[in-house]
Amino acid sequence: MTDRFAGKTVLVTGAAAGLGRAYALKFGAQGAHLILADINADGMVETAAMVEAVGGTAEHHLCDMSDEAQIQALGQAVLAAHDRLDVLINNAGMHMGEIARGFFGLGQAKWQHFFAVNTIGPLLLAEALRPALARAKGLIINKSSMASYQPQTAYGITKAALNVFTHAMASQFAADEIRCVGIAPGLMETPAAKDGVEDANWERLRSMQAVKRQGTADDIANLGIFLASDEGSFINNQVLLCDGGHQLRGFRI
């Protein structure tokens, strides 16, 4: 453990597993206090215990990012307990199943739900937490995707919209010296991704990268650590690909 983020407070949505858990453990191991948010209560309890095992501290809150009332309630609870928030990681999102395959025939209700979770929710949460972020001159990290660069499914379209929101948020939050950036992962080896991608397809996708090893959640969390650090403090208004050079071969569905 180091104390690089000692005294810092970091909120991670979608923290019950996968990339969200990886972010929490990386920041916790460097002394941060974690505020975990997810719809999976049991997973958050596990993540909190893991954060404490590596030397951090953690609290957890249930929040459905498609529900504006729950987002506002989370914001109010955080503001009541914490004077400042150094980092907000908008990691929660939908990325497997119908959203990753669908385009035609989804209907308005599904499109609205996908956009609510993946695009609008991150803005609403950042807005609700703005006073605490402003006091810290904090950082917002939105989780985009390599699929946002040639969007061909509902998932890619919601993430392309989130890229636009990221640039607009960087502009709008700048008055309070709050930075906003996006991270666009490639296909990373997380439990959810492994469940959603056939084994043979993992090999095909890896062969399309310039870096031939499989990306992991730690690769993304390490980038988040850098962006939140003093060394990354002049980076703003960017969406950064972390995909092993997959873009060199063109994106695929």
* Cβ–Cβ under 8 Å, residues 229 and 4: yes
> In 48-193, which ranges are E strands?
57-62, 87-90, 139-143, 179-185
| Cα 85 from Cα 54, distance rounded (Å) | 21
CB 102 within 8 A of CB 154: yes
Alpha carbon distance 37, 47 (integer Å)? 11
Buried b (16+ CB within 10 A) or exposed e, 184-211: bbbbbbbeebeeebeeeeeeebbebbee
Please say if 23 is a catalytic residue.
Answer: no
User: Are 22 and 221 a contacting pair, CB within 8 Å?
Assistant: yes
In the set 23, 27, 149, 155, the catalytic residue is 155
Q: How many residues does the chain have?
A: 253
Angle, helices 217-228 vs 18-29, to 10°: value is 50
User: What residues are annotated to the active site?
Assistant: 155
